[in-house]
């Protein structure tokens, strides 16, 4: 007797003997960076007939049973699994639950589902929604937009850390920066080099929004997949929307792959450059030692997530006067100055919240208060 069919929305916490039909959208490895990249598990993103997406996890000790079956786009019947609650941070779906494969899990390829399964699924957010999620680590949403510029230091030099930053224009002409590192930056870079023409549309999944220095940065995670132009239906729709907007005329803009080599400078050289050069955005590597925290020159406040202006506190809420919103969503903003020295000179570096977290694993306000 076959197991009864259910939908993702029917699942409850505990063991499940019922079967669900789903398509595997994407999968990726989760590794422990503190243990030399030891594989911990593989995450799967599944979608059922109702377009409900759900995360599933296969731990490393069970992976050998299922690895050969894992292929994006393949449909499966899944039964005999555990249903547990998702972690509160880094959520991949809107569902509070997730699936965990156990020793009894059946994972059988499906050729003829009872009903057609969606071919793709995304959680696209607009600019204001991304700002609302910034620095919370709560959800890892998806984006679709027009790629307008790329800066990369990928060179293939052994031991050199790779970084790539892509400027993405979302709807309503709002702009964000997609940041990729190491192997993901190298893969993005290589795909651009191998393409016969420049991509115009990018879809990026499972990104982590961060507000740094007043700008919105979308950091890639282990679950980030990148698709160009018509590789997805969502990207294809956006592509033709841009074409219609431009009346079918191809852009005359320079090549998107505007790669910029990151220079290595001493603090003395950097100081001379700042004093003599025209204002511009540059990338550089400067190695030094933190010798002083100038906390008296810092600030911290609660800003409006939409316009970034300081919120005014009322009796029961925070109000944004610029947006005329009496119940505005607040984002914590911090600034701190560091005195950093090397063998050539000492310089002052201004750091915002996200940067301080990367340097010390401590928020700016903690450094400021201490």
Q: What burial letters (b/e) apply to 3-36, b meaning 16+ CB within 10 Å?
A: eebbebeebeeeebeebbbbbbbbbbeeeeeeee
- Residue whose token pair is 């003599």: 276
pLDDT score of 356: 62
Domains and CATH numbers, the chain: 5-109 (2.40.50.140), 127-245 (2.40.50.140), 263-369 (2.40.50.140)
Interatomic CA distance for residues 5 and 45, integer angstroms? 19
Specify whether the CB–CB gap between 349 and 337 falls below 8 A: yes
Reported in sequence order, the residue ranges of 153-262 that DSSP labels E, i.e. its strands, are 163-169, 175-181, 201-204, 207-212, 215-220, 226-228
pLDDT tens string 147-166: 999 988 887 666 667 889 99
Mean per-residue pLDDT for 344-350? 89
Of 170-179, 235-244, 270-279, least confident by mean pLDDT is 270-279
Specify whether the CB–CB gap between 4 and 19 falls below 8 A: yes
Number of neighbouring beta carbons within 10 Å of residue 111 = 6
Q: What burial letters (b/e) apply to 320-340, b meaning 16+ CB within 10 Å?
A: beeeebeebbbbebbbbebeb
Pairing label, strands 163-169, 201-204:
unpaired
Q: What is the dihedral of CA 207, 217, 33, 98, to 10 degrees?
A: -20
Q: What is the largest CA-CA distance in the chain?
A: 80
Instruction: Tell me which residue of 109, 303, 143 sits closest to 217, measured CA to CA.
Output: 143
Range from 116-130, 207-221, 314-328 that averages highest in pLDDT = 116-130
Rg (CA), the chain: 24
pLDDT score of 278: 58
Q: What is the SS3 assignment for 14-80? A: EEEEEEEEEEEEEEEEEEEHHHCCEEEEEEEEEECCCCCEEEEEEEHHHHHHHHHHCCCCCEEEEEE
Q: Which residues pair with 217 in a beta bridge?
A: 177, 210
Q: Which residues pair with 76 in a beta bridge?
A: 22, 109
pLDDT tens string 25-72: 999 999 988 888 899 999 999 999 999 999 999 999 999 999 999 999
How far, in Å, are 138, 142, 362 from residue 89 at the CA level? 4, 16, 18
Q: How many CA atoms does the CB half-sphere of 115 hold within 13 Å?
A: 10
pLDDT surpassing 90 at residue 145: yes
pLDDT score of 265: 80
- DSSP-derived secondary structure letter, 172: G
pLDDT score of 139: 96
Length of the chain counted residue by residue: 370
Tokens of residue 290, six digits = 């933190």
Specify whether the CB–CB gap between 262 and 285 falls below 8 A: yes
Tokens of residue 225, six digits = 């997949």
Mean per-residue pLDDT for 116-126? 96
pLDDT score of 326: 84
pLDDT surpassing 50 at residue 255: no
Q: Which long-range contacts link 319-323 to residues 24+ away (Cβ below 8 Å)?
A: none
pLDDT score of 259: 47
Pairing label, strands 175-181, 215-220:
parallel
pLDDT surpassing 70 at residue 258: no
pLDDT tens string 304-313: 877 778 888 8
Mean per-residue pLDDT for 225-232? 96
How far, in Å, are 18, 20, 153 from residue 76 at the CA level? 14, 8, 41
pLDDT surpassing 70 at residue 369: no
Interatomic CA distance for residues 57 and 220, integer angstroms? 20
- DSSP-derived secondary structure letter, 142: B
Mean per-residue pLDDT for 283-296? 81
């Amino acid at each position: 007797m076959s197991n009864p069919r259910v939908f993702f929305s029917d699942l409850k916490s505990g063991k499940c003997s019922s079967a669900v039909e789903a398509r595997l959208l994407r999968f990726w490895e989760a590794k422990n960076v503190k243990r030399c990249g030891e594989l911990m598990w593989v995450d799967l993103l599944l979608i059922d007939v109702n377009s409900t997406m759900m995360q599933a996890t296969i731990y490393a000790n069970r992976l050998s049973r299922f690895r050969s079956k894992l292929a994006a786009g393949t449909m499966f019947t899944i039964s005999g699994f555990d249903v547990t609650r998702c972690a509160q941070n880094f959520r991949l779906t809107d569902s509070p639950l997730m699936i965990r494969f156990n020793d009894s899990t059946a994972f059988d390829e499906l050729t003829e589902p009872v009903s057609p399964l969606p071919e793709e699924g995304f959680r696209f957010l607009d600019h204001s929604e991304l700002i609302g999620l910034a620095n919370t680590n709560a959800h890892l949403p998806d984006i679709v937009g027009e790629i307008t510029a790329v800066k990369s230091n990928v060179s293939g030099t052994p031991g050199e850390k790779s970084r790539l930053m892509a400027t993405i224009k979302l709807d309503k002409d709002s702009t964000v920066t997609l940041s990729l590192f190491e192997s993901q930056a190298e893969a993005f870079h290589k795909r651009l080099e191998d393409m016969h023409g420049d991509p115009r549309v990018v879809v990026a999944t499972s990104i982590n929004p961060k507000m740094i220095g007043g700008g919105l940065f979308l950091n890639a995670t282990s679950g980030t997949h990148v698709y160009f132009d018509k590789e997805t239906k969502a990207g294809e729709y956006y592509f033709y929307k841009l074409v219609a907007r431009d009346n079918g005329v191809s852009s005359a803009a320079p090549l998107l792959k505007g790669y910029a080599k990151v220079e290595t400078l001493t603090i003395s050289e950097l100081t001379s450059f700042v004093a003599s050069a025209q204002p511009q955005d540059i990338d550089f590597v400067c190695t030094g030692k933190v010798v002083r925290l100038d906390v008296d020159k810092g600030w911290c406040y609660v800003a409006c997530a939409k316009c970034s202006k300081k919120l005014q506190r009322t009796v029961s809420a925070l109000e944004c006067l610029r947006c005329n919103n009496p119940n505005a969503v607040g984002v914590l903003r911090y600034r701190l100055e560091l005195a950093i020295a090397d063998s050539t000179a000492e310089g002052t570096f201004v750091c915002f919240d996200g940067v301080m977290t990367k340097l010390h694993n401590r928020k700016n306000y903690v450094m400021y208060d201490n």
